[in-house]
Chain A
Amino acid sequence: MSLCKSIETLAMAYLDDELATEERHELETHLADCPSCRTHLDRERADLSMVRRALVAPPASEMLRARIARGLDEAERSEKRGRWSKYLLPSSAMVAAAAAIALFVGAQTPMTATAPRKSSHVATSVVSSAARLGRRQLPLEVQGANTGAYLHQHFAADIAPPRFEESSTELRGGRLLPNAINGHDAAALQYSINMPGRAPFQLAVLIVRDVRGDELRDGTPVNVNNRTLYIFQTDDGLDMVSYLPRPGIAFLFMAPELTANELVGLASRVNLVSE
């Protein structure tokens, strides 16, 4: 069968690289002997390259990139919102509790002695008990500037409340959580964050004592500012970022209003040095 009759189909498929190897060889052999099909192919090739050149479009603008990032932030937040409402340190409950300054549970049960640890701790149980804790409404035991002294006296002498670089971040207070995180003593701190253009929201920092590295190191690691942080997401959609500044101490950062990336940003710059 002469290929001339089908040259339009063949030329198009040839130029689009859609011919099977055998078909391509057959066409190439034919083209060598048939000037009119060769002319046809050359003309098609020229048209195609004109069309392709004409269609080249400008790249996406920075503005579009920013719009999409904002849209994704919003989608991430609304995905979590339903499940988040029951989470850690609900702001309305916390504000009410802070105003009333609740019981000094910690003063009655100081966490000085370290209980024997179970041997089979895994990261998931640390993370899930941290998440579970948040389902309960926990009154603050100490407020504002007194928080540091309180931690020093009742939690660990060498741990101070983290100080964030962001001046919009204010320490509201905290409480002790004896044996609360997978059998480890912990302290919960509450910060309020005022970002321009956003409604004020709460950030929770859990400090866990006597935690082993392998209990918190199977999240997704990220390296920022020479710190190795780990991102965890519970199946409830709660993002947590952990940082272990030294063996035995873990900081967990959580805020329903912040994406994992924003939490990483905060945790990578936070000042943990004791005073």
Chain B
Amino acid sequence: MLAVKNKRSEFERQALAHLDALFGAAYRLTRNARDAEDLVQDSLLRAYRFWDSFEQDSNCKAWLLRIVTNTFINEYQRKKRSREVLDAATAEQDATDGVLVHASAGDKQAPDQVLLQASVSDDVQRALQQLPDDFRTAVILCDMQGLSYKEIAEIMECPVGTVMSRLFRGRKLLAAALREFAVAEGYVKNEAIDLQKYRAAKAREGSK
């Protein structure tokens, strides 16, 4: 019999439609654009090889994210650790990547706006870095990708209750880290919330 169905065009229609989402997840998982591109490319080619095993009725995006997550855990983490010597060089490259990515994503914006975004985004990457891998993965799958607890549980191969607690703690840590960076960078002023200063200032005013 002839297989008239064209594997490549089906794959492009169903899987490549999620490319931006997959890159986003990979970008937050690996925390730099270069590793994210490698991760997405590896994952999609793997998905293409195993396309026959994808159940056509199920959620393609969740299936792909599972491959991205597993590929990340299996390969990129190991690679990353063995590469720590090169971290200085990587960090420099990442900074450039971040700016370039944002510059191309928003070329209608004023240059200073682009730089500001790049710097805020850098904070997000640093904040994410402080999270344990499992927490970060749960937050990325839920808050970036909109997967349900059940879908995340299947991807992470753990009970739904574990997903919830990873998600809960991951969000708390991430929110705290984001606030901390926002304060450090001066996006949020923290003087106004000092009660002692307020009282001291009030006392000075009263004594005049």
A residues whose Cβ falls under 8 Å from a Cβ of B? 8-9, 12-13, 16, 18, 47-48, 50-52, 54-61, 63-65, 67-68, 71-72, 75-76, 124, 127-128, 218-220, 231-235, 259-261
B1-23 vs A: 1/0 string, CB under 8 Å? Answer: 11111111101100010011011
Would you mind naming 23 contact pairs between A and B with Cβ atoms under 8 Å apart? A8-B168, A18-B149, A50-B178, A51-B178, A52-B143, A52-B144, A54-B124, A55-B139, A56-B24, A57-B24, A58-B23, A58-B27, A58-B101, A58-B102, A59-B24, A61-B37, A64-B19, A68-B44, A68-B45, A71-B45, A220-B4, A234-B2, A260-B8
B8 adjacent to A76 (CB under 8 Å): yes
Query: Smallest CB-CB separation from B24: which chain A residue?
Result: A57
Q: Which of A71, A72, A220 contacts B5 (CB 8 A)?
A: A220
Given A18-B148, A52-B143, A61-B33, 4 further pairs, Cβ under 8 A: A51-B143, A55-B140, A58-B105, A261-B8
B164 adjacent to A61 (CB under 8 Å): no
Complex Cα distance, B148 from A56, in Å, reads 18
Q: Which of A48, A60, A65, A127 contacts B143 (CB 8 A)?
A: A48
A235 adjacent to B2 (CB under 8 Å): yes
B5 adjacent to A68 (CB under 8 Å): no
Q: How far is the CB of A270 from chain B (nearest CB, A)?
A: 20
B40 within 8 A of partner (CB): yes
Given A16-B149, A55-B28, A60–B19 Cβ distance below 8 Å? Answer: yes
Q: How far is the CB of B172 from chain A (nearest CB, A)?
A: 8
A12 adjacent to B164 (CB under 8 Å): yes
B105 adjacent to A59 (CB under 8 Å): yes
B41 adjacent to A61 (CB under 8 Å): no
6 closest pairs, A vs B, by CB? A57-B24, A60-B23, A58-B105, A47-B175, A59-B20, A58-B101
Complex Cα distance, B101 from A72, in Å, reads 24
Q: How far is the CB of B144 from chain A (nearest CB, A)?
A: 5
Contacts of A13 in B (CB 8 A): 164
Chain B contacts with A in 140-190, Cβ cutoff 8 A: 140, 142-144, 148-149, 164, 167-168, 171-172, 174-175, 178
A60 adjacent to B105 (CB under 8 Å): no
B117-143 vs A: 1/0 string, CB under 8 Å? Answer: 000100110010000000000011011
Contacts of A75 in B (CB 8 A): 45, 48-49
Q: How far is the CB of B130 from chain A (nearest CB, A)?
A: 13
Q: How far is the CB of A76 from chain B (nearest CB, A)?
A: 6
B45 adjacent to A127 (CB under 8 Å): no
A128 adjacent to B2 (CB under 8 Å): yes
Contacts of A63 in B (CB 8 A): 37
Complex Cα distance, B167 from A52, in Å, reads 13
Q: Which of A57, A58, A261 contacts B9 (CB 8 A)?
A: A261
B104 within 8 A of partner (CB): yes
B4 adjacent to A233 (CB under 8 Å): yes
Q: How far is the CB of A264 from chain B (nearest CB, A)?
A: 10
